[in-house]
């Protein structure tokens, strides 16, 4: 899947398939569900209560309101020679960016991952429903879009192809491997010329390649600044990027919808104010990664009574949330199983 951010924000889904150790023992919490915010100290100051997990069929992401995570908006990446050869190509792809947001991306992923539609069918349905209209390109020719071997990338690649065909390009989609394999191919422009990419992840991948493994991070929680840095790096390696969409697929932290409603929380800051002694579930690297447990503790002041070593945004973490085994779990913000209501 997506590869190699800096150590400050490397997504746990990309650090390998860790063997998850799932404990079936529930942690006994000190407070009662629904008691958050209901306790006071001796001086009358409100004290967060220990909040037990609340089982439920739906999970929802809590807003990262203090910007712990690096931005990872969807953005079209194009071989620089191809962009020069076809001057209208990037503008056509920008029409796709304008039609995407995170809720839409969740819906697309749900259609493929849960409803078992094909990425091609979902892409066609989306382009028709979104009403994306593009002008016929003056100079249009063959374009091959590289889609990484996971469903979201395949769907985005097929959306790109649909819209490019509408503009007169002879567009096709081919499945590619990981970023180490496909980025050199994209820069050469022989096998693939376009890839749906992720702003922060791509920025740091190119940054480390250009400036070395100890390079200062260029990607941050600021989208405009990160895109500007990516474009500067792209100029050095022969890569052009279009406009970023509002759709993000980034690290995120979720609770069950039932828990969020019971404790009245929609953001991580509200969770920190309401609850103490949480049970966190994620991939095993979470305890060491600054964007994960240490970041939650330092940025938000969240406290954890237990860490469950599960998987990075995968079925073990989501099922542990739904079963009430953990309070807070690492997921990905465009996961098709997330509630958007």
Q: Mind listing the pLDDT tens digit for each residue in 296-336?
A: 999 999 999 999 999 989 999 999 999 999 999 999 999 99
Nearest to 164 by CA among 182, 139, 185, 189: 139
pLDDT at residue 267 greater than cutoff 70: yes
The fraction of the chain above a pLDDT of 70, given in percent, is: 86
Q: Mind listing the pLDDT tens digit for each residue in 151-201?
A: 999 999 999 999 999 999 999 999 998 899 899 999 999 999 999 999 999
- Classified by CATH at the fold level, domain 74-241 comes out as Dipeptide-binding Protein; domain 3 (3.10.105)
The model carries a pTM of 0.85
Give the containing element (helix H, strand E) for 228: helix 223-237
pLDDT at residue 291 greater than cutoff 50: yes
Angle at 69 between CA 4 and CA 111, to 5 degrees: 80
Give the containing element (helix H, strand E) for 256: strand 251-256
pLDDT at residue 279 greater than cutoff 70: yes
By the 8 A CB rule, do 171 and 218 touch? no
- Classified by CATH at the fold level, domain 12-68+250-332 comes out as D-Maltodextrin-Binding Protein; domain 2 (3.40.190)
Sheet containing strand 239-241, edge to edge, reads 170-176, 142-148, 194-198, 74-79, 239-241
Domain positions in the chain: 12-68+250-332, 74-241
pLDDT-wise least confident of 46-50, 123-127, 163-167? 46-50
pLDDT at residue 253 greater than cutoff 80: yes
Per-residue pLDDT band for 287 (boundaries 50, 70, 90) equals very high
CB-neighbour burial class of residue 263 (10 A; exposed 0-12, middle 13-18, buried 19+): buried
């Amino acid at each position: 899947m997506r590869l190699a951010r800096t150590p400050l924000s490397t997504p746990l889904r990309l650090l390998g398939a860790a063997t998850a150790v799932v404990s079936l023992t529930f942690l006994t919490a000190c407070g009662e569900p629904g008691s958050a915010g209901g306790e006071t100290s001796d001086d009358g100051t409100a004290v967060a209560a220990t909040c037990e997990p609340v089982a439920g069929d739906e999970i929802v992401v809590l807003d990262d309101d203090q910007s712990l995570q690096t931005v990872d908006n969807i953005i079209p990446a194009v071989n620089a020679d191809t962009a020069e050869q076809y001057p209208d190509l990037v503008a056509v792809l920008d029409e796709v960016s304008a039609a995407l947001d995170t809720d839409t991306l969740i819906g697309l992923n749900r259609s493929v991952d849960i409803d078992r539609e094909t990425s091609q069918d979902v892409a066609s349905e989306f382009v028709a429903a979104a009403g994306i209209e593009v002008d016929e390109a003056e100079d249009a020719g063959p374009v091959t879009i590289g889609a990484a071997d996971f469903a979201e990338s395949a769907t985005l690649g097929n959306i790109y192809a649909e819209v490019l065909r509408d503009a007169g390009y002879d567009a096709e989609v081919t499945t590619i491997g990981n970023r180490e394999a496909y980025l050199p191919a994209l820069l050469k422009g022989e096998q693939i010329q376009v890839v749906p990419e992720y702003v922060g992840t791509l920025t740091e991948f190119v940054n480390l390649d250009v400036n070395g493994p100890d390079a200062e991070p260029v990607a941050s929680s600021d989208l405009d600044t990160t895109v500007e840095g990516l474009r500067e790096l792209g100029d050095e390696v022969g890569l052009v990027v279009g406009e970023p969409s509002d759709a993000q697929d980034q690290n995120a932290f979720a609770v069950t919808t039932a828990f969020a409603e019971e404790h009245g929380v929609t953001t991580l800051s509200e969770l920190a104010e309401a609850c103490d002694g949480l049970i966190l579930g994620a991939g095993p690297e979470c305890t060491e990664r600054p964007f994960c447990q240490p970041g939650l503790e330092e940025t938000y002041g969240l406290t954890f009574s237990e860490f469950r070593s599960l998987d990075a945004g995968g079925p073990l973490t989501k099922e542990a949330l739904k079963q009430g085994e953990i309070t807070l779990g690492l997921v990905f913000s465009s996961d098709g199983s997330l509630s958007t209501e």
